[in-house]
Structure 1
Amino acid sequence: MQLSDQNTYSVQGIDPHYLVEQFGSPLYVYDGTTIRRKVTELQHAFPGINMKIKYACKANTNLSILRLMREIGVELDVVSPGELEMGMIAGYEGSQITFTPSGVPFEEVREAVEAGAIVNVDSIPLLEWFGQTYGNTKPCLIRIKPNVAAGGNVKIMTAHADSKFGISVLLLDEILEVVKKYNIKIIGLHQHTGSDIKDAEPFLKVADILFETAKHFPDLEVIDLGGGFKVSYLPGDAITDMDLLGKKISERFEKFCSEYGRKLQLWFEPGKFLVSESGYLFVKTTVVKEDPARHFVHVDSGLNHLIRPMMYGSYHHILNVTNPTGEIKPYNVVGYICETDTFASDRNLPEVRPGDVLAFLNAGAYGLTMSSNYNARFRPAEILIDHGQAKLIRRRETLEDLLKTQIEI
């Protein structure tokens, strides 16, 4: 979001106040230009490498976002039949989708295979079932757990020894035994370390483990290193140096391919990295409560719309869009849910008044996809701004939406 010389904010030149007036508050807004820039940033980090980006769409499944990803050449990683169907509705072919389940019913895996998606096998029982069911007729990847702890909050670390995700690399002999037993067509190995990883070293460490493991599989086509790149939350926040990471991983990957005997394709599955910075949650201030202990800013939203601060302790930078030059004061910014739903504590903001519009930044990932109707509240509308035009891509919910699946008895 840009602040002009006139001290007014805009998204691609569009005033947030106009958006709130037109589409209501609270309101999710996504900037298509930012999504395109993040995709280009990742592509440019790996020059000369046969690299493919698979958007981890659990971050944001709006069909317009999926269509934008497809338009700019990004494929898809999904974790459920619902996400798979959304991807296909958005125009993806099954072969452009990777299905990465976590302990799901095997029938879901069958649905993915029949849709043409490539399954990422995450357990020995699933590998056994896959072999019994498809033998050598369908390709799959194997998700390896490298037993490396890295990332931000422990809830988003996925490669350590106690994580539920993937098959431990220590079970390699058992994996090879099942693969040989059914002659399973393994075309790739995958791992995902976690999220918010800013340093190159964890990526290099798990890459080396995956490259060494890959030598036991003679027919690979793909090495998938997952995602988890760090994005910027605070002003000046350290982020993943993509150029440095790309250089170091490319060197290791090319060395591995030379040792392996042929060139493979390198995949990444970023989610938050591609969409987080594109998103804003605009809210209106309802009450400013000057308590002896704290000044509270109450807004017309809550953890039902953005649960990340309460779930992960995540930081979202907040702007006072209406009064950007006001006197700086400390506030607790809180929601309207009948539960503690604090967005920010002791946050220094330009003076906030009832009716002021606030913007939560980095709201493009895991915002609406993790939202709920708690307290019988409606989910907000979503807007995509692309090529300077603001378009409604999800309408605001109504009471009818909340009641339509209920049955009176």
Structure 2
Amino acid sequence: MIQVEKNNEQLIKLANKYGTPLYIYDTCKIKKQYQKMLYAFKNIKKNFLINYACKANTNLNILKFLQKLGSGLDTVSIQEIEIGLKAGFLQNKIIYTPNCVSINEIKKAVELGVKINLDNISILEQFGEYFPNYSIGIRINPHIMAGSNPKISVGHIDSKFGISYYQIPHIKKIIRNTRINIDGLHMHTGSDILDIKSFLDGAKILFQIALDFPDINYIDLGSGFKVPYTKGDRKTDLSCLSKIIIQEFNNFCKNYNKNKKDKDITLIFEPGKFLVSESGYFLVSVNVIKHTMSTVFAGVDSGFNHFIRPMFYDAYHNIENISNPSGCFRYYTVVGYICESDTFGFNRKIAEIHEGDVLCIKNAGAYCFSMSSNYNSRYRPSEVMIINGKDFLIRKRETMKDLLQNIVEIPI
């Protein structure tokens, strides 16, 4: 794994080789996170499955790497399903959990043969009429407020995600009317969750509901594990969480199987950020140092068109000057080149920055490139993957041809 503090020269070489702005992903860290989760849940008596939430980073090569590790795939769009199939995931290892999509898109998912979780009463009724023999899962809204930011809390009572657990009688009525088969239950309450109680409360609700569905094969508890963004930052205590969840899950399986043969139920988690966030580094070059009456700005060759999390979620990402790591520390506000207020970090203590220096923004593996755009008609950056210490270009930098390829010129 690249350690920025010890390998600034390697990162500078990559910046020189591929140019900036540049995303870099270290597969050693991804593998370490995947194995850490497997180890935490090794004592589950039944099956355990990790489904990578690929909306965090959909680069085909990231998906191929996780598929080789044994991961399944959590998808939210037809396009993600198709990328997953191209990456080598089997149909039965892909779960599609869309939100507010039409029945036509869900029909396409049926044609592709993947597992499906539905989170809407209307769509559930329509699906039951079209595909009464196709086993599906139900996404439940447990009415739990969790996560570090209201924008990433998705399990509360006013959320657009999931079917309220108060609507279970309605779900049962649809099952009776359509004879649809419920294969599993799913929930996801948010992101950056520190409070283990939030996971436990949601799991208990899902386990209790599952007792009323006699033919389920999986329980999907989503994810939302917090990762550290600064030195000494807190993170989800995976060891403590796993012990509690394993105990609750084993108790559930025991109760579920009281009146039937031992049923092999799979427990699923769908981490995205946990697996890939810390693997990522975003390198930018400093265009200009600008002094005002009260602030020193370091303006870089990127903006929220490439890296929107600090502006969209008020997310904190550590920023280091890898060109001058031993320089005197001064305070800078690091901003982008977009014609908007695109600030990566306010009043940050960073080793002295000069024009031309390369800065490294950390925790750039999740929800960074995948949320990028061409705003201001800027090109999206290159992506590089590190495998066993070797660097590989996994996405080329865009050009004007990419910006114009779908434009249809008309005579004016």
- Partner of 2:391, secondary structure, is strand
- Tell me how far 1:99 sits from its aligned partner: 0.5
Q: Does 1:204 align with 2:205?
A: no
- Tell me how far 1:3 sits from its aligned partner: 5.1
- Match of 2:12? 17
- Partner of 1:302, secondary structure, is coil
Residues 266-296 of structure 1, C-alpha deviation per residue, up to 9 Å, x if partnerless? 0001111110000010000111112221010
Choose from 155, 164, 167 the match for 2:160.
Answer: 164
- Match of 1:79? 76
Write out aligned runs for 1:243-322 (5 A). 243-261=239-257, 262-322=263-323
The one-letter code matched in structure 2 to 1:196 is D
- Match of 2:260? none
C-alpha separation between the residues in 1 aligned to 2:74 and 2:203? 19
- Partner of 1:195, secondary structure, is coil
- Partner of 2:290, secondary structure, is strand
The one-letter code matched in structure 2 to 1:243 is S
- Partner of 2:312, secondary structure, is helix
Residues 143-169 of structure 1, C-alpha deviation per residue, up to 9 Å, x if partnerless? 000001011111110100000001000
Q: Does 1:129 align with 2:123?
A: no
Q: Does 1:226 align with 2:227?
A: no
Residues 40-87 of structure 1, C-alpha deviation per residue, up to 9 Å, x if partnerless? 011111112221001110000000000001000001011111111111
- Match of 2:56? 59
Listed as ranges, the gaps of 5+ residues in structure 2 are 258-262
Residues 321-359 of structure 1, C-alpha deviation per residue, up to 9 Å, x if partnerless? 011111111110000000000000011001011111100
The one-letter code matched in structure 1 to 2:314 is G
C-alpha separation between the residues in 2 aligned to 1:284 and 1:380? 13
- Match of 1:45? 40
Choose from 21, 39, 42 the match for 1:26.
Answer: 21
Residues 121-150 of structure 1, C-alpha deviation per residue, up to 9 Å, x if partnerless? 111111101110111x21110000000101
- Match of 1:368? 369
The one-letter code matched in structure 2 to 1:2 is Q
- Partner of 2:324, secondary structure, is coil
CA 46–329 in structure 1, closer or farther in 2 if over 3 Å, else same: same
Residues 281-316 of structure 1, C-alpha deviation per residue, up to 9 Å, x if partnerless? 000011111222101000000000000000000000
Count of paired positions: 402
- Tell me how far 1:199 sits from its aligned partner: 2.1
C-alpha separation between the residues in 2 aligned to 1:180 and 1:325? 69
- Partner of 2:207, secondary structure, is helix
Choose from 145, 159, 178 the match for 2:141.
Answer: 145
After the TM superposition, which segments of 4 or more aligned residues of structure 1 sit over 6 Å from their partners? none
C-alpha separation between the residues in 2 aligned to 1:105 and 1:3? 45
C-alpha separation between the residues in 2 aligned to 1:220 and 1:173? 17
Residues 353-393 of structure 1, C-alpha deviation per residue, up to 9 Å, x if partnerless? 11111000000001111000001100000000011110000
- TM-score (norm. length: structure 1): 0.97
Listed as ranges, the gaps of 5+ residues in structure 1 are none
Q: Does 1:195 align with 2:196?
A: no
The one-letter code matched in structure 2 to 1:160 is H
- Partner of 1:407, secondary structure, is coil
- Tell me how far 1:9 sits from its aligned partner: 2.6
- Partner of 1:401, secondary structure, is helix
C-alpha separation between the residues in 1 aligned to 2:50 and 2:7? 32
C-alpha separation between the residues in 1 aligned to 2:395 and 2:365? 14
- Tell me how far 1:406 sits from its aligned partner: 0.2
C-alpha separation between the residues in 1 aligned to 2:318 and 2:401? 34
C-alpha separation between the residues in 2 aligned to 1:403 and 1:70? 34
- Match of 2:87? 90
- Partner of 1:2, secondary structure, is coil
C-alpha separation between the residues in 2 aligned to 1:199 and 1:95? 32
- Match of 1:388? 389
- Partner of 2:393, secondary structure, is strand
- Partner of 2:161, secondary structure, is coil
- TM-score (norm. length: structure 2): 0.96
- Partner of 2:84, secondary structure, is helix
- Partner of 1:15, secondary structure, is helix
C-alpha separation between the residues in 2 aligned to 1:113 and 1:93? 14
Give the root-mean-square deviation of aligned CA atoms. 1.0
